[in-house]
């Protein structure tokens, strides 16, 4: 795995809620545009995790040199469109810009190749300018627009 020798994926579960909260609440800007509030409560985080697990999402913590640096969610088959989705890639705010997002993506790409996934999708809230810049640099192409929770979402797709 190119450039991923130190980063590890660790399957998340409800016992990791404190770790997840520290990652999810590290970026008030993202929470504000995604959830209309800067800090998520433990109850909201538990509900989000529970909802994801009910959909069949695989949820991982990203660990680098013994520290949890992010969260990665994968939905192998979205029931709405049949595509594999990268549901969430969030890097703890203090670790953004250090290459962890790229390392996580390389782990994701390797996992998808093993599973013979040829393309995947993800959604970015329209007003998330840093998110659009990041994903476009990764070669993602916008394929359509939709609405979710009263927010316009740009759906991107990439061939692996």
pLDDT tens column, 37-71: 999 999 999 999 998 888 899 999 999 999 999 99
Q: Residue ranges per domain, the chain?
A: 7-117
- Order of strands across the sheet with 119-125? 7-11, 58-64, 67-75, 84-91, 119-125, 151-159, 141-148
pLDDT at 5 over 60: no
The CATH number given to 7-117 is 3.40.630.30
> What CA–CA distance (Å, rounded) separates 74 from 58?
5
pTM for the model stands at 0.92
């Amino acid at each position: 795995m190119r450039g991923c020798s130190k980063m590890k994926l660790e399957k998340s579960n409800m016992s990791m809620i404190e770790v997840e909260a520290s990652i999810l609440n590290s970026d008030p800007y993202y929470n504000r545009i995604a959830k209309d509030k800067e800090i998520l409560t433990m109850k909201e985080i538990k509900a989000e995790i529970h909802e994801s697990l009910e959909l069949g999402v695989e949820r991982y913590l990203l660990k680098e040199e013994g520290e949890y640096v992010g969260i990665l969610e994968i939905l192998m088959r979205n029931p709405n469109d049949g595509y594999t989705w990268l549901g969430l890639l969030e890097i703890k705010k203090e670790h953004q810009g250090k290459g962890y997002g790229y390392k996580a993506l390389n782990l994701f790409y390797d996992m998808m190749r093993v599973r013979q996934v040829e393309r995947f999708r993800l959604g970015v809230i329209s007003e998330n300018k840093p998110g659009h810049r990041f994903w476009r640099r990764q070669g993602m192409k916008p394929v359509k627009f939709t609405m979710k929770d009263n927010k316009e979402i740009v759906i991107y797709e990439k061939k692996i």
